[in-house]
């Protein structure tokens, strides 16, 4: 075993090969001063399996940075190296989270480049529809509504709610798409379970009570079904991305923020999500091990809203409904990242 074997594998991967490192035996002369790391090389092998990356993408992969708190760049197991530094590994044994680190760096570069060259749209002025309320509650639905409506600066408030599982997914998605990073779904949800409390945005009852203390209970309306909102044709329909798409945005956000600053959230929404497109998956759901906690919180919300006497548009008994999908898996997120890298401008 020698470093020449490693350079042989690099040449194989550069040519589009897919043979795993553990099965590689041929040697080649060095093609650079330093061997690429195991994470970059295995990511390139996965890209070769998934499609046909361009020469430019191949070279970008081989020098991609590794953001986050994972392991440093790792040498190949079996290639000659020193006695110091990171422990050598078989690239085939690296998990998806390690491979997502260079993948999200590359994806952030693509998104930043798309954002820089995209023409600034010239929007024709139009008078926005006037909403005779202020909006509070579900941040995902409220953001979609504010994009096409102009909430009034009045003392009347709509608190946007709905099934609690969907609310929790909306709040997590909203934070992941801020561009500043967020905990993975399981850890983020576990905090609420541990504290036995709902996060702001998912606590419809808490929002209604806070606002009632400011403007009066008779000026607060709780909306569990947006189609029943008076004074409007209808709140706009809201599309919710899959848990996998949101997980990829969560992982990409910090690398993107280092390139576009506080525009990262907008780039994730305006560039990443349209590129993902419909993937046929529901939003993320609450794991079954937390089903009893979720049902208890939904009951508390329903009982409190009815006891306080707020006008409620929609059926409070639906707060416990469940329609979410599985917890995002890193392997699925990696597959999505590979697809986006291969279909970026200049790759398809």
Both 140 and 89 in a single domain?
A: no
Q: How many residues does the chain have?
A: 348
CB 178 within 8 A of CB 265: yes
232 domain residue, yes or no: yes
**Predicted pLDDT at 124:** 47
Contacts of 39 (CB under 8 A, 6+ apart): 66, 73, 74, 91, 94, 98, 99, 101, 102
**Predicted pLDDT at 230:** 63
**Predicted pLDDT at 233:** 43
Q: How far apart are CA 113 and CA 272, in angstroms?
A: 12
103 domain residue, yes or no: no
Q: How far apart are CA 222 and CA 159, in angstroms?
A: 5
Both 218 and 72 in a single domain?
A: no
Q: How far apart are CA 317 and CA 225, in angstroms?
A: 12
Both 295 and 243 in a single domain?
A: yes
Of 94, 115, 139, which residue sits at a domain end? 94
Name the pTM for this structure: 0.90
Both 134 and 234 in a single domain?
A: yes
**Predicted pLDDT at 27:** 92
Low-confidence ranges of the chain (pLDDT < 50): 124-125, 233, 348
Both 72 and 213 in a single domain?
A: no
291 domain residue, yes or no: yes
Domain that holds residue 52: 3-94
Secondary structure (DSSP) of 16-56: T----GGG--------SSSPPPHHHHHHHHHHHHHS---HH
Q: How far apart are CA 57 and CA 346, in angstroms?
A: 9
Give me the residues paired with residue 136 across strands. Answer: 159
348 domain residue, yes or no: no
Q: State the Cα angle at 325 between 320 and 326, rounded to 5°.
A: 115
Per-residue pLDDT tens over the stretch 317-341: 999 999 888 899 999 999 999 999 9
**Predicted pLDDT at 234:** 61
99 domain residue, yes or no: no
Q: Encode 169-236 in three state secondary structure.
A: HHHHHHHHCCCCCCCCHHHHHHHHHHHCCCCCCCCHHHHHHHHHHHHCHHHEEEECCHHHCCCCCCCC
Both 78 and 145 in a single domain?
A: no
Please count the structural domains in the chain: 2
């Amino acid at each position: 075993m020698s470093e020449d074997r490693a350079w042989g594998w690099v040449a194989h991967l550069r040519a589009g090969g897919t043979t795993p490192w553990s099965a590689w035996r041929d040697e080649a002369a060095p093609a650079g001063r330093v061997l690429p790391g195991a994470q970059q090389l295995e990511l390139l092998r996965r890209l070769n399996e998934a499609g046909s990356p361009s020469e430019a993408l191949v070279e970008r992969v081989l020098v991609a940075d590794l953001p986050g708190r994972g392991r440093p760049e790792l040498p190949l197991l079996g290639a000659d190296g020193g006695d110091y530094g990171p422990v050598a590994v078989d690239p085939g044994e690296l998990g998806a989270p390690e491979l997502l680190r260079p993948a999200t760096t590359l994806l952030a570069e693509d998104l930043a480049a798309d954002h820089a060259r995209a023409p600034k749209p010239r929007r024709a002025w139009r008078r926005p529809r006037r909403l005779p309320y202020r909006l509070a509650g579900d941040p995902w639905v409220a953001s979609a509504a504010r994009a096409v409506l102009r909430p009034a600066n009045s003392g009347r408030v709509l608190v946007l709610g709905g099934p609690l599982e969907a609310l929790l997914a909306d709040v997590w998605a909203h934070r992941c798409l801020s561009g500043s990073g967020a905990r993975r779904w399981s850890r983020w949800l576990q905090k609420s379970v541990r504290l036995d409390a709902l996060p702001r945005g998912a606590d419809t009852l808490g929002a209604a009570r806070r606002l009632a203390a400011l403007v009066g209970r008779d000026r607060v309306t709780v909306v569990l079904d947006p189609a029943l909102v008076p004074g409007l044709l209808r709140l706009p329909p809201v599309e919710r991305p899959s848990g996998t798409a949101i997980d990829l945005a969560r992982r990409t956000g910090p690398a993107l923020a280092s390139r576009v600053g506080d525009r990262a959230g907008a780039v994730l929404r305006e560039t990443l999500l349209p590129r993902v497109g419909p993937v046929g998956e529901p939003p993320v759901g609450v794991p079954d091990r937390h089903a009893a906690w979720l049902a208890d919180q939904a009951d508390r919300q329903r009982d409190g809203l009815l006891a306080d006497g707020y006008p409620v548009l929609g059926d409070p008994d639906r707060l416990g409904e469940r329609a979410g999908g599985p917890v995002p898996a890193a392997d699925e997120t990696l597959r999505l990242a590979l697809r986006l890298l291969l279909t970026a401008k200049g790759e398809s």
